[in-house]
């Protein structure tokens, strides 16, 4: 199999929703989320793809999406007004973890962040995901901060 990393396209949405559900069971409850119908989901996806500060990246094998990551470039006033790269939703399909797909996706993220002159790339990872933490550390990331979240949806409020 030959893995190819590329920008996501509009027609990747159904496969991406399945993949994101692997990241966190129930992350994409049905198509779409509990906010509306498939039109709403497609509208949000189009907005994501057309945001000039955002790059949704996929890895595919044999025209099947097997991994994804979302890079958001945020303007910043510190560090010489250089932007920050935020990584969200890195996921590789269960059967392909350990095949180098996550590394290929993150190499693409780092290349894009350098091209955008980001002074850092930052991400959060749930406390219990020790395998993911080891993966990030192998890529040179450090657990250097303490992160906080406050969910504003569902029963997490």
Tokens 């949806």 appear where?
153
Count of C-beta atoms within a 10 Å radius of residue 100: 14
**pLDDT (tens digit, 9 = 90+) per residue, 66-108?**
999 999 999 999 999 999 999 999 999 999 999 999 999 999 9
Whole-angstrom Cα distance, residue 51 to residue 16? 18
CATH class of 3-156: alpha beta
Tell me, what's the pLDDT at 39?
75
pLDDT value at 2 more than 90: no
Separation between Cα atoms, residue 143 and residue 124, nearest integer Å = 9
């Amino acid at each position: 199999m030959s893995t190819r990393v590329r920008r996501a396209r509009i027609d990747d949405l159904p496969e991406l929703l399945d993949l994101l559900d692997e990241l966190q069971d129930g992350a994409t409850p049905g198509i779409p989320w509990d906010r509306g119908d498939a039109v709403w989901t497609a509208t949000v996806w189009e907005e994501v793809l057309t945001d000039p500060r955002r790059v949704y990246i996929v890895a595919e094998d044999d025209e099947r999406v097997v991994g994804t990551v979302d890079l958001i470039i945020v303007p910043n006033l510190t560090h010489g007004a250089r932007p920050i790269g935020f990584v969200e939703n890195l996921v590789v399909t269960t059967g392909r973890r350990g095949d180098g797909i996550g590394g290929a996706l993150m190499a693409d993220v780092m290349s894009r962040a350098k091209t955008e002159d980001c002074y850092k790339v930052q991400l959060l990872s749930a406390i219990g995901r020790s395998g993911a933490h080891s993966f990030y550390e192998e890529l040179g990331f450090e657990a250097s901060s303490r992160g906080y979240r406050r969910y504003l949806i569902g029963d997490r409020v």
